[in-house]
Amino acid sequence: NDYYETFAGTFGDVHGSSLVGDGLASCALAFDAQGQDRSRSIILATDNQVIDPDNEQIYPLPDAAKLLAERKIRLFSIYGADEDQPYQNLLDKTPEESREELKTVTEEQGKGRFYDVEDSGTGGQIVKELEKTEVSALGGRKQTRRTDVPQRLVITLSLVLLGYLGLTTWRRA
């Protein structure tokens, strides 16, 4: 029962898929400390191809975007879709219409950024935008720490291994 409770909504309770607005609203509502003034961003990668024949989606994408705006959450959208989808007949919108809706909803916020999955450097651009937000939120003081660079350990282990191999070769000779 725990398994079914955890993944409720994926076992036939809802006769739809890719309920993008519900997913986005869920992310927006999951932020803690809503009263604090701090930077909040969501990166949404989707084809925005909603299949909802029974209209069970609680938050359509425009309503979810309004929720983000109310909570001052910045949206980064990455759009990518397969033009030859086998379930195209179940969709209310063409891939181009879905793309335009996502772009419009993202950019209406004023702070949101829209990207196509084919755009080169999308990840780097998003990281730069996030860093700008964080730097301004922290007063412009930026500090980078590298803690997972095991150079000293690798060199030490290599020397120990070479010494062991040399000792083994010498003892066998």
Q: Which residue has the higher pLDDT, 14 or 52?
A: 52
Entry field: residues in the chain: 173
DSSP 87: T
pLDDT(135) > 60: no
Model confidence band, residue 159 (pLDDT cutoffs 50, 70, 90)? very high
- Over residues 44-67, the mean pLDDT reads 80
pTM: 0.61
**According to the model, what pLDDT value does residue 2 have?**
77
Cα torsion angle, 50, 86, 11, 55, sign: positive
The percent of residues in the chain predicted with pLDDT above 70, rounded, is 77
Six-digit token pair at 16?
A: 């739809």
**According to the model, what pLDDT value does residue 120 have?**
78
**According to the model, what pLDDT value does residue 164 have?**
93
Q: Which residues contact 82 (CB under 8 A, 6 or more apart)?
A: 47, 95
69-126 pLDDT, tens digit each: 888 888 888 888 777 666 666 667 777 888 888 888 888 877 788 888 877 777 888 8
Find, among 61, 127, 48, 132, the residue nearest to 93 by Cα: 48
Distance CA 30, CA 68 (A): 11
Helices (H) and strands (E) in the chain, counts: 6, 3
102 and 71 Cβ atoms separated by less than 8 Å: no
Q: Which residue has the higher pLDDT, 150 or 86?
A: 150
